[in-house]
Structure 1
Amino acid sequence: MQAVVEAPPMQNTDEPVSFKVSGKNIPKPVIAFLDALFPDSVRIEDDDDVLEPVEEMDWYKKAKKNINPAKTLKIMRINAGLTQAQLAQKVGLAKQNYNSLERGAWPISMLMSKKLADALGTSYLMFFRENKSRSP
């Protein structure tokens, strides 16, 4: 079951509102709330298809195989809007040494993964793998 909301822009927004709430049994008070907030913009769909967990989808398995701590670090840095030099400074590394981490030339130590996580507002587990040796 899905409650689909497609509404014109609301106060203080430039873009139309569009989102879905899905689940086996969406509580009636939730649907009533959506109807009250978005009059004439809520559509209820009965979805007979069984949703496949993302972890079981082929594209996810392939993508997960190709990701590593170095790639994750680069993605997280870019998403944070930081340059390599800025993040290197935040974690106390020379830019060249930071670059080695991001290229995967040096493994990311647990200590460094914690510094990176603090600087980027995430979990150190994003960057640390126990089976890797410690970086210099």
Structure 2
Amino acid sequence: MHIEFEEEEDTLMEVQEMAWYKESKAEETPGGNLRFYRRLAHMNQTELGSKLGISKQFVSNMENGIKPISRAMALKLGSLFDVPAGRFI
């Protein structure tokens, strides 16, 4: 078996210009972080709402940036997910 490799020209690109980086930065919002940690914990919006004493719709609104996440809610979320509350503000 004979394998040949073609040399590719290396092109350096700033990471901030790469599509995957731009997409990931777009999700770094308080709501995007909430969605990330909720999914990481294998919870749906209804389950999270139940743990927080709020509706599924309110969770959805926070994740989509329709409702801001208050400091009190950020503290609850930080405690629930064991991360700094600042990730949700």
Does residue 30 of structure 2 align to residue 72 of structure 1? Answer: no
CA distance in 2, matches of 1:89, 1:118: 15
Q: CA RMSD in A?
A: 1.8
Indicate the structure (1 or 2) with the bigger Cα radius of gyration: 1
Query: How far has the Cα of 1:77 moved from its partner?
Result: 0.4
Q: How many residues align?
A: 72
Gaps of 5+ in 2: 1-13
SS at match of 1:87: helix
Does residue 79 of structure 2 align to residue 118 of structure 1? Answer: yes
Per the alignment, residue 84 of structure 1 pairs with: 45
Per the alignment, residue 107 of structure 1 pairs with: 68
Q: What one-letter code is carried by the residue in structure 1 that aligns with 2:69?
A: I
Q: Which runs of 4+ in 1 moved over 4 A?
A: none
Residues 66-101 of structure 1: per-residue CA shift (max 9 Å, x gap): 121111110110011111111111111111111111
- Higher helix residue share: 2
- Higher strand residue share: 1
Q: Which has the higher contact order (CA 8 A, sep 6+)?
A: 2
Structure 2 length-normalised TM:
0.70
Contact 1:77 1:83 in 2 (8 A): yes
Does residue 15 of structure 2 align to residue 57 of structure 1? Answer: yes
Per the alignment, residue 56 of structure 2 pairs with: 95
Gaps of 5+ in 1: 1-55, 129-136
CA distance in 1, matches of 2:78, 2:36: 13
Contact 1:87 1:119 in 2 (8 A): no
Structure 1 vs Structure 2: percent identity of aligned residues? 31
Q: What one-letter code is carried by the residue in structure 2 that aligns with 1:123?
A: P
CA distance in 1, matches of 2:58, 2:47: 13
